[in-house]
Amino acid sequence: KALLDRIEQHDEKINSFITVTRDEALEAAEAADAARARGDAGALTGAPIALKDIFCTKDVLTTCASHMLDNFVSPYDATVVERLKAAGTVSLGKTNMDEFAMGSSNENSFFGPVHNPWNLDHVPGGSSGGSAAAIAAGFVPAAMGTDTGGSIRQPASFCGITGLKPTYGRVSRYGIIAYASSLDQAGPMAHTAEDCALLMNVIAGHDQRDSTCVNQDVPDYTAELDKPLKGLRIGLPVEYFGEGLDAGVEKVVREAIRTYEALGATVVEVSLPHTRLAIPTYYVIAPAEASSNLSRYDGVRFGHRCDDPKDLIDMYLRSRAEGFGEEVKRRILMGTHTLSEGFYDAYYRKAQRVRRLIRQDFIDAFEKVDVLMGPAAPTPAFGIGQQSDPIQMYLGDIYTIAINLAGIPGISVPVGFTDGLPVGLQILGPHFGESRLLNTAHVFQ
């Protein structure tokens, strides 16, 4: 109740929620209290959380921050939502985001930008900016995000919280509105690695309804949090400390890495030689998949339909023209172009080949080191309206998107401030190495 009141009082300034589900939350909280009274409580019984508005929630609006879906009420829960409910968590509502998860600043939302609680003139990052800001503002201790190219880690960095993108296939995508299906992955956002571990224990694991969800045992992610880090081999990719990295961010990140050396870890430089190809590769593959995924919004089965269509084609054209925002249209155009006959081999197929090389860079690096460390983003949170050129915006994804192309897990953990704004340290590990990442991040609790 206290958190719901706090949201009501202060979210006008932050805009982190699209929908607050007060009544449902109070009801679920009562059920949690009853379970506790019966002696039937788990680690997360009654824990208040929030869900990025990309997760389908039964009987609750799911907009993906788009005019296209601003009247869409899902008839079912995403697997992640189902599992969080079963664990007794209490969702307070659905958080703001970049439309269809396309963006790095939360300025692409149909419901307006989110303001960074550390400085209201700055962005919270994106696309899971509402979830990150809601945690930083003290509205909820934890929230769910999704990460296709950095959308959990970069807003976590900008808002001074912890965010984990699991290995592709670790968490079910069923019921999560698709952006780029071969890259999308849901993950926890919270103040600490420990809270992320508790959420991972609930959301990870096989789901028959997502064929890319891996059937592999789920460890207790809290078990190794306190494992000593003596002897940990840390690699610093030279490409992640080069041109374009803000000096203040670099200083904070390097200081954090010295903390690990003091704990007995060893630090070596490594190279991920295909790093410079990650942005062009991602911005071919992700829009290609998006153009295909978003073709379902035709005004017939979902969401927005234009008024008085003349005929079928008119209905498609106007419904989509009215329903999608500018960035989403840009991605659909890029994706349709690179998938079209005559361009497919030159762009899409080539990008898939380069993706393989990027993945191999990480596999080679993890032969020599246990984890990789670097910044999550080249700068701290920038000002709202400051980054108007889409290409400049895409370049800011340099340290996060290769991780999705490779399918490996990554975590951003808050390690300090520059100019009064938070800075995240990004820690990367091999496929299914989440326990080690949480263990490493747990130092900064």
Please pick, among 109, 127, 128, 435, the residue that the annotation labels catalytic. Answer: 127
Q: What separation, in Å, do the N-terminal and C-terminal C-alpha atoms of the chain show? A: 26
Per CB under 6 A, which region of 30-38, 95-103, 341-349, 360-368 contacts ligand GLN? 95-103
147 binds ligand GLN (CB under 6 A): yes
Residue appearing with tokens 């209905």: 315
Q: Which listed range, 14-22, 146-154, 155-163, 167-175, lies at the site for ligand GLN (CB under 6 A)?
A: 146-154
Min dist CB 249 to ligand GLN, Å, is 17
Is 52 an active-site residue? yes
Reported as half-sphere exposure (CB side, CA atoms, 13 A), residue 224 has a value of: 13
x-or-dash string of contact with ligand GLN, 151-180, rule CB under 6 A: x---------------------------x-
Query: Around Cβ 101, how many Cβ atoms within 10 Å?
Result: 30
Give the Cα separation of 172 and 440 in Å (integer): 25
Q: Which of 74, 105, 109, 151 is catalytic?
A: 151
Under rule CB under 6 A, residue 370 binds ligand GLN: no
C-alpha to C-alpha distances, 84 to 26, 81, 143, 193, 308, nearest whole angstrom: 16, 5, 11, 18, 42
* Interacting span for ligand GLN (CB under 6 A) from 58-66, 102-110, 200-208, 224-232: 102-110
| Residue of 397, 410, 425, 432 interacting with ligand GLN (CB under 6 A) | 397
Write phi, then psi, for 373 (nearest 5 degrees).
Answer: -130, 150
The H or E element spanning position 92 is strand 90-95
| Footprint of ligand GLN on 272-331 (CB under 6 A) | 286
Among the listed residues 48, 93, 150, 335, the single contact to ligand GLN using CB under 6 A? 150
Residue among 16, 52, 131, 319 flagged as catalytic: 52
Where in 258-409 does DSSP place strands (E)? Answer: 266-270, 371-375
- Burial letters 280-300, b for 16+ CB under 10 A, else e: ebbbbbbbbbbbbbbeebbbe
Answer yes or no: are the C-beta atoms of 367 and 233 closer than 8 Å. Answer: no
Closest approach of ligand GLN to the CB of residue 10, in Å: 26
From the list 18, 56, 101, 284, which residue makes contact with ligand GLN (rule: CB under 6 A)? Answer: 101
Most distant CA pair in the chain: distance in Å? 71
Size of the site for ligand GLN (CB under 6 A): 13
Q: Residue 196 or residue 286: which is nearer to ligand GLN going by CB? A: 286
Out of 48, 93, 149, 175, name the contact with ligand GLN by CB under 6 A. Answer: 149
Q: Considering the rule CB under 6 A, would residue 127 count as an interface residue with ligand GLN? A: yes
Q: Rule CB under 6 A: say whether 103 interacts with ligand GLN.
A: yes
Q: Tell me: does residue 104 bind ligand GLN (CB under 6 A).
A: yes
Among the listed residues 439, 374, 432, the one whose alpha carbon sits nearest the alpha carbon of residue 192:
439
> What is the edge-to-edge ordering of all strands in the sheet holding 17-20?
17-20, 90-95, 48-52, 142-146, 186-190, 162-165, 410-418, 421-428, 371-375, 233-237, 266-270
By annotation, the residues acting in catalysis are: 52, 127, 151
Chain positions contacting ligand GLN, by CB under 6 A: 101-104, 127, 147-151, 179, 286, 397
